[in-house]
Structure 1
Amino acid sequence: MRLRRVFVSWCMLSMCLGLATANVVAAEKADGTGKKIVFVAGKPSHGFASHEHNAGCKLLAEWLKKGVDGVETVVVTGGWPEDFSVFDDADAVVQFSDGGGGNPMLPHLDDIQKLIDRGVGFACIHYAVEVPKDVAGDRLRSWIGGCYEQWWSVNPHWEAKFTVFPDHPVARGLVPFTIADEWYYHMRFRPGLEGVTPILTAVPPDSARSRPDGPHSNNPVVRARRD
């Protein structure tokens, strides 16, 4: 079986941070020279304890604040803000939201491009890696290296086993592990994986590629690559 690349689409939310009184929550900066990371949380969806955009962003922001000196974290809830001044001194932006045609980045593609051109880092978590192919596929691949593309990528639940990791700072400290979750695979990457470093790779079982065809479930290319 061919080794298929998978995006890191899993984020464990073990706790929900306290509710904010405003829609922007900022952590105190350790000093005036640190990095500023802005989290953009999409609107609630999928029901309780599933796709917890607000809680996920607040949790990650809190972990960074506690674990990394000199980092300021800001969480924007409800999608991209009308006032983009929150990004004026940002070093990186992380979006955790729904995707597809309802991806909240779509009305702000030109604004995000300006951030990218300024050297701001950009990351997407889980469903946020999906955009309509003809609207923003090329842009998202140029920004983060790949994206989820309907009728090409698939996202069933399966048990992924990870045993080998690259020599990369992101993989520092990892040991072999297995997780059953909704893993994205057969992503649409840049040609030749240019500029992309795969961190987690796994081989999906045939059962994960035997479902009826659909925009997210299966397609002829995925099915043909089972062998």
Structure 2
Amino acid sequence: MIQSSCDCPYDQGTCKHEVAVYYWLRNRLSPGSPFDLAKELSKLKKAELIDVMLKLVHDPDIHHRLAHDFTPPSSNPKTFVQVCEREIVGKFSNGTIHQQEMKTLKRYLFRKINVIQSDENPISRLFNSISFLDIVTPTIMRCETFIHLLFAVRDEITDLMVSAIEEIPKAERDMVLQRFILIWHELHLAVYHDVHVQLLKGIVPIYEGDKTFLIDQIDRFRNTHAEASDLEHLDEFTKVLTEES
């Protein structure tokens, strides 16, 4: 596993997520042997590939280290992530993941959720939840094999966000909710249209800030990711906010 300490001489912001995985893989090799990413990935068991995949989707517990000696060969312009994604898709697309391996991945993800849930600060819980959902949402986690697990994680995180919203101190609530809604859209998480509606059900009754802002954000959702089944709820939200304003 990658150490939590950082020996990177550069600012943490310059560290690459994929480089963390590179270190993890490189450390598995014999000293002095040439590094062949595709070859090494082909040796890994499915459970280990899952570990790689989780690192590729920006596991926040990894302190990313910049590898000064890591440069993709000029003959192979594919990025580290692209190569890993190709190898993973190749192994999973037509095969069956052993049930025990899926259980391992589920336990891993739900341990992360439990850590978020244990935070006593509802604002931290809210923003850590949205970050975590963004982490497990990339294309690589949307393949059919993982879809049921992704939905389970999404539902658990939704409950966590709704409870956090209810606990935000009134003095900070409106500013926090405005920031939360903007980030939600910027991360394209409104693609979870049913989750979006559920969050609005928690937000609209307690929001006392700029009603025009929230109406505009509801319209933004209506014109992008909302589905027909959501429209009645959105009309009701808009009606309530318009009457209040």
More strand, by proportion: 1
TM range (shorter): 0.3 to 0.5
TM-score under structure 2 length normalisation: 0.33
TM-score, scaled relative to structure 1:
0.34
